[in-house]
Structure 1
Amino acid sequence: MKSSAELEINTENNELSIPAFGYELIRDILLPEILGKETPDILYWSGKLLARKFPLMSINEIISFFDEAGWGNLRITKDEKKGMELELTSPLISRQIELKTESSFKLEAGFLAEQIQSQKKVRTEAYEEIVKRHKKVKIIVQWDLKDTDV
């Protein structure tokens, strides 16, 4: 059994345990220190860049990517004509919310926006909401069916 301070990552061939503290040091302390007030925007565009480097063909591949990247468990909670809502959960997210860290999930939102945009071939944006009560992140993805100039 792993402590709440470790993030467990499962792969097909083996298991790897990474201390959550090291991940948090980089993501929640170092990056914001280096990037300053531009951190959210840079993380969002970095997520889009990562999505272009790792093109995925379906929502199921995106869900698997999130799991393999250690970003958390992603699931669709609402799927509509002009958008979708997804829920992102993990022990690490719960820990960040419990510790009241100033965590941002812009990287994940940007990644989702670019993947969905590539799959649907329409302009797509995403934003996240931290749901403290349920210790999860809600990511809202919206697209414009008329804007196919991507």
Structure 2
Amino acid sequence: MMATQSAYCEESIEPEPYSKEEFPQWALDLRRFEVVSLGSIPFAMIGVTIAYGAIEMNRGNMSSIPNPLNPSSLDESEQLKILGMTACTGLVIGLVDFTVNLIVRHNKRKRLERLNATKQVDVVPLTTPEEADVLEDDSQFIDDIEKGDD
């Protein structure tokens, strides 16, 4: 009974973390777009409510800017307008984040390609006997200079 208990305790019951190669890049981009868009909605709602109230107050339709945390001072049609503008603002924020990440990823890939291209060395083999003679003469000349025999 002790042997089975110790064998059971040695097994790990914790799940393995996800690896970077487990999900395709488009799925990671879509998830990030979703999180950024939905995460920005509460903040966008506050900003849109204040902006809408300021515009309506400037037009003379409202006496003051409505409280963004208590939209009961607005009628239903105004609340629907604010909700629609908030949803659009959240989508725009998500698209901007997606575009910026695509540009950054593209620039990193191009920079890495340029770096790898500069590290590559082109080796051209000598094909003719004349080229080999020139190389031999040059190496003999270098050896003479190193020895100090002018």
Report TM bin, short chain.
under 0.3
TM-score (normalised: structure 2): 0.21
TM-score (normalised: structure 1): 0.21
Higher-Rg structure is 2
Greater share of helix residues, 1 or 2?
Answer: 2
Greater share of strand residues, 1 or 2?
Answer: 1
